[in-house]
Amino acid sequence: MPQTKLGLDPAVVRRARALARKAAAPVEKLAHTHTTVSVERATLRLAGVTGADATGMPWVNHLVDAVREQVGLEYGVALPVWHALASGEHTDLVAMAEKAATGGVRFALPTGKDAERAAKAARKAVGTGFVRIDRNRRDRNKLLAKLGDPPKPWIYLIVATGDIYEDIPQAQAAAREGADIVAVIRSTGQSLLDYVPEGATREGYAGTYATQENFRLMRAALDDVSRELGRYVRLTNYASGLCMPEIAALAGLERLDMMLNDCMYGIIFRDINPQRTFIDQRFSRAIHARAGIVINTGEDNYLTTADAVDAAHTVIVSQLLNERFGLEAGLQPWQLGLGHAFEINPDIPDSFRLELAHALLVRELFPEAPLKYMPPTKHMSGNVFAGYLLDAFFNLVGVMTGQGIILVGMMTEGIHTPFLSDRDLALENVNYVRNAVGDLAEDFRPAPGGFVVERAHRVLGESVELLQRIVDDGLLDAIADGTFGITKRPADGGKGLDGVVKKADGYLNPASDLLEEGRT
């Protein structure tokens, strides 16, 4: 490890990563030995299953449910589905799914030559999805080479009216005013739906539904404005919740660039079962790795419930775990947009120095990661002038410590959903700070043995101690005890456990096989 501004001990850093690896190992084993209904649905989506019934329930849900009811999912959906398709009674997968919804298809687990034929057909069909994902990755690289990539820190701005056709002009306006990344916030509660809505949507709650068609529409709109501006504008959405693998697949199919994808966010803040989350997360991250998508993790959320000073070490621990889970799934360091936030109470003495210590520690622990730094929210009040100043301090810390992605803070955060005019002022704030500060990150050197350095060393030491306890007690037990974000989530609680299935000997998933074979 190269010499750092904080003088971090390489041996301590290596120990932290070794402990994170040990803590993650049992959960990684769980992910390899189990599947979920969403993993199986994602596999079928990669093979081209689309559409929904009159109630909006996707055909892919009906198909997986029918297979599970008749033969179980222990061997995966691929063998029984493509065996049934080989009968010649169905024109394609969608037609078969429509019949399966009304009990019109009988599934069986093939053996011998029948199983070999089904496996071969499944692999070919799922492979078409990866051909499209791979082409999208190449297209992104071509556009980046042609249009140019903005310098870091990238400016990240949120839009989400609930209506995708209202989101599009807002997103394009944001890009014209300087946003490098546009994030479409997902409709409140979508993470708890065990299906992905179909088509373009015009009604959402504090956000817009994540659907394949909405992804396609927004990507096309941002491509248009990218050509207009002469720089590539990235698109972000959310691969989290009960449909994490499916949404990851759809993001790859529609060339999204970043996805919110945290190892524990859904568990802690949406009460989704921990086992379901970790299994789904592993598959979704393998998809992101293949698609060249950068993930954004959610450590900033811990500090909305826990104290940002007392719980600083839990952020570091979660980042180390997110890094480990990401690398094991095939992500590269440049794809790890690890999250943290400017959430220290501004009334605390030396709050700015504490933020400098925390932000610089994260930067130096993960030198290759495009860190995503989140603005103040917890301590924003109705005083918009104080809020605007606090956002400027946040922007200053972000530039001084070399963060890769800065989410634009809003001075009206504590009052209402920000207006376009609020976003315009917020962009002026971050652009002013970025231009005025310039390359201050190169000049900033905290005093050896001073406040910033000592605080960073203390947080790292506390992180190592917590990781050791997690290794001793188990990560699932640590989550159950409220270690992260103070919320307690037991391993057998929450939503979605009924969708977890232990794999049998002979389990087949061509998507998983192709993902492992395609790792670089």
Options 156, 265, 302, 507, the catalytic residue: 265
What separation, in Å, do the N-terminal and C-terminal C-alpha atoms of the chain show?
A: 23
Options 5, 238, 257, 372, the catalytic residue: 372
| 380 neighbors 395 (Cβ within 8 angstroms) | no
Distance CA 239, CA 259 (A): 6
| 472 neighbors 370 (Cβ within 8 angstroms) | no
| 278: three-class secondary structure by DSSP | helix
Distance CA 517, CA 78 (A): 18
Cα–Cα distances in angstroms (integers) from residue 191 to residues 6, 53, 116, 231, 246, in the given order: 39, 21, 37, 32, 12
Distance CA 201, CA 61 (A): 19
| 106 neighbors 258 (Cβ within 8 angstroms) | no
| 342 neighbors 397 (Cβ within 8 angstroms) | yes
Nearest to 358 by CA among 334, 340, 374, 336: 340
| Burial tier of 197 (Cβ tally within 10 Å: 0-12, 13-18, 19+) | buried
Query: For the sheet containing 339-341, what is the strand order?
Result: 336-337, 294-296, 258-260, 234-238, 181-184, 154-159, 405-407, 372-374, 339-341
Task: Reply yes or no on whether 209 is catalytic.
Answer: no
| 93 neighbors 124 (Cβ within 8 angstroms) | no
Burial annotation 488-514 (CB, 10 A radius, 16+ → b, else e)? ebebeebbbeebbbebeeebbbbbbbb
Task: Reply yes or no on whether 300 is catalytic.
Answer: yes
DSSP letter string over 368-381? TS--EEEPP-TT--
Task: Reply yes or no on whether 53 is catalytic.
Answer: no
| Burial tier of 131 (Cβ tally within 10 Å: 0-12, 13-18, 19+) | exposed
| Residues facing residue 184 across a β-bridge | 159
Distance CA 311, CA 482 (A): 12
Options 300, 302, 388, 507, the catalytic residue: 300
Task: Please give the positions annotated as active site.
Answer: 265, 300, 372
